[in-house]
Amino acid sequence: MKKHLLFLGPPGAGKGTQAALISQANSYLHLSTGELLRKEIDLNTVLGLEVKDIINKGQLVSDELVLEIVKKNLDGDHNGWILDGYPRNITQANSLNKVLINLNQPLETVFYLDIAEEVLIKRLLLRGRKDDNEDTIRTRLNIYKQTTEPLIKYYENLSLLEYINADRDLKTISADINQKMA
């Protein structure tokens, strides 16, 4: 069973949803950089105040800041882990490689949740989080295309990529991921 996983895909593809289901079922750590940043905002911490406007505009927070969060959370003993929403660009992917070499926990599979843009926009508008208004969604999708999408090729070249059709019901997608984790 694979224990070191990464979920990649556009905003609203269901990375967080699937990572939560799979991590609960296997007692893995679910490390969502988006969720951790939102927690800081809710708690009004110094970090939260620093990132609040950036996130609400749909932009990416700094690579250094996210790297610190990831390092802090990956440290320690875990049954396994799922990275959700990290890395989001090539710089973050290279930093992650270094962190994982130090931890001696190489990435085993990258699940790419593939889905059409029209479906994403509908899903996100329905979810209605603070950063889910039409303007912000467009910004997030544009940033995704420019900076995150190149990671598909990056991980494909490392023979780590598994395609998942994310336009299906939750259980069917989880079953597909589970099968590919075996």
- Interacting residues toward ligand B4P by CB under 6 A: 9, 11-17, 32-35, 37, 55, 58-61, 66, 85-86, 88, 92, 123, 127, 131, 140, 169-170, 173
The residue number with the shortest CB distance to ligand B4P is 34
Sign of CA dihedral 94, 5, 116, 152: positive
What whole-number distance in Å separates Cα of residue 84 and Cα of residue 8?
7
State the nearest-atom distance from the C-beta of 103 to ligand B4P, in Å: 18
State the nearest-atom distance from the C-beta of 85 to ligand B4P, in Å: 3
Residue 109 or 159 having the CB closest to ligand B4P: 109
Residue 13 or 160 having the CB closest to ligand B4P: 13
Q: What is the b/e burial string over 68-99, where b = at least 16 CB atoms within 10 angstroms of the residue's CB?
A: ebbeebbeeebebbbbbbbbbbeebbebbeee
State the nearest-atom distance from the C-beta of 40 to ligand B4P, in Å: 11
Residue 93 or 160 having the CB closest to ligand B4P: 93
State the nearest-atom distance from the C-beta of 159 to ligand B4P, in Å: 23
